[in-house]
Amino acid sequence: MAIFKPQTIVAFIGDEHTNSTVGLSAIQVATDDGSAHRASKAQLWIRTCFEDYCRHLEKRVKNGLRRNRLIWVNNGDLVEGVHHNTTQICTSNMAQQLKNAIKTLQPILSLNPNSIYIIRGTEAHSGASGQWDELFARDIRAVPVYEDKAPEDNEFSWYSLLLNIEGVLFDIAHTGEFGMSSWTGVNALNKIAMEAKDYYLSRGERCPDYVIRSHTHRWGASAEDKSHSIKVVSVPSWQLCTSYSYRRKPGRFLDIGGYIFEVDNGRCNYEPVIYQPPGARVCQA
């Protein structure tokens, strides 16, 4: 009888910006004074998309009566934080933000990932030294950074991560690049691929198969190019336009979603799971 070897399913998401009034949210989240913030119509739409993404994951994890292995990599900025005098937050209490983040991300936590890796995001959202990502990671018992330290002395979130999954090597970090124009978008990803190749070859180290980046709230992948053979994937966000976004690109809406990778003994396939926000309402004068 053949021995069943589970396939590995990897969920790459990030930039949830929970606690933002235009970010991913539970239907209702608490404030520290006993009040509550109820998700807006737009947030309810994001929530529906996130639950659908998690159903996509669940289908791949369940394999008849058997279960595939699930790894969740969260690529930074899982909370909005308190920054730049923003008014677009549900509460400025960071302890409450973290509790609400755990509640908001229950759809993926309830899938019981075998391993969870939390990547530190930008300081504006994740706090100095990524402290809010770190506290979240500690609370949910993410994979620790140091193998030889006790939990009370360890760190549970990563500035960057080299992750080997069944022979497929991932270089993972939050901050990426993406061209602002439609005709320059993936050029930035091609540049990251070449820079990664130059870096690893100069050190005599194995080049990663995939470089995973976030931060830009844009999704896409670098071009197929045998000269560098590294695929760069840009992970989108779970946040609609903020006041800052409206200044940068007036009237332009970015897609939301995540990626799902399937890894099996050195072979790898991936799929973007993308949701397109409704366009702007046309006013009749």
Specify if 12 maps to a domain: yes
Specify if 2 maps to a domain: no
Q: How many domains does the chain have?
A: 1
Specify if 24 maps to a domain: yes
pTM: 0.94
pLDDT value for 4 = 60
Specify if 167 maps to a domain: yes
pLDDT, tens digit (0-9, with 9 covering 90-100), for 191-247: 999 999 999 999 999 999 999 999 999 999 998 877 768 999 999 999 998 877 777
pLDDT, tens digit (0-9, with 9 covering 90-100), for 270-284: 999 999 998 888 999
Residues whose CB falls within 8 Å of the CB of residue 178, separated by 6 or more in sequence, listed in order: 185, 186, 188, 189, 216, 218, 220, 234
Specify if 284 maps to a domain: no
pLDDT value for 241 = 86
Specify if 283 maps to a domain: no
β-partners of residue 173 are: 160
**Residue 150: CATH number of its domain:** 3.60.21.10
Residues whose CB falls within 8 Å of the CB of residue 138, separated by 6 or more in sequence, listed in order: 156
Specify if 222 maps to a domain: yes
pLDDT, tens digit (0-9, with 9 covering 90-100), for 68-90: 999 999 999 999 988 988 999 99
Structural domain range at position 233: 8-275
Specify if 146 maps to a domain: yes
